[in-house]
Amino acid sequence: MKKILVAVTGASAMIYLQSFLEVLQNEDVTVHGICSESGKKVLELEHDSTYADLPAVTKWFNCDDFAAAPASGSAGYDAMVIIPCSMGTLAAIASGMTSNLVHRAADVMLKENKKLILVTRETPLNRTHLKNMLTVHDAGAVVCPPHPGFYLKPETLQEMALTFSWRLGDQLGLNMKGRKRWGETA
């Protein structure tokens, strides 16, 4: 069973977070979470809910708790997904600054050569954003902006988010139930 850490930061795109966690509910995974203060605010604004209402996550850690399990490589997480990942969080990870548990956990994933996926959410991108993306990529992270698979002809926002959630599942090596792929018939 894979052990996945999901972090929520204060960027727009909570629809992707909700969809991804719904997909993880149907997988053989353990999911723990961290939600930044800004993430809590954006989740409330966009989704009218709190992090505690989100599916699949069995344990939440306080973003200020540097003694929490995700602060150490010995916690044994297989992967971490930051969804959505703010440009501030991206910058902190790129610079190695660990001012909260999200940053520290991401740093741990990189030093342990574990999968770190950043669902970066900003547009347009400035030069600093692009440099930071290249820096984290070179350090071993996967930069995965939330782009749906339109070739699958999604008809609703939820279906668009689902196509992206499947892509994240692929990155995590999950064999997702109901996953549609290019060139496959229904």
pLDDT surpassing 90 at residue 139:
yes
Q: Identify whether 179 is part of a domain.
A: no
Instruction: Quote the pLDDT of residue 182.
Output: 84
Q: Identify whether 181 is part of a domain.
A: no
Instruction: Quote the pLDDT of residue 186.
Output: 54
What's phi and psi for 177, nearest 5 deg?
-70, 135
* Number of domains present in the structure of the chain: 1
Condensed to tens digits (0 to 9), the pLDDT of residues 44-77 reads 999 999 999 999 999 999 999 999 999 999 999 9
In this structure, how many other beta carbons lie within 10 angstroms of the beta carbon of residue 120? Answer: 25
Query: What tokens were used for 131?
Result: 């440099």
Condensed to tens digits (0 to 9), the pLDDT of residues 145-180 reads 999 989 999 999 999 999 999 999 999 999 888 888
Q: Identify whether 155 is part of a domain.
A: yes
Judged on CB neighbours under 10 Å (0-12, 13-18, 19+), 24 is buried
Instruction: Quote the pLDDT of residue 185.
Output: 63
Q: Identify whether 186 is part of a domain.
A: no
CATH assignment at residue 53: 3.40.50.1950
Range of the domain at 108: 2-171
Nearest to 116 by CA among 137, 87, 130: 137
Q: Identify whether 94 is part of a domain.
A: yes
Could you give the angle at the alpha carbon of 120 between the alpha carbons of 161 and 102, nearest 5°? 110
Q: Identify whether 178 is part of a domain.
A: no
pLDDT surpassing 80 at residue 138:
yes
What's phi and psi for 32, nearest 5 deg?
-115, 160
What's phi and psi for 182, nearest 5 deg?
-55, 135
Q: Identify whether 185 is part of a domain.
A: no
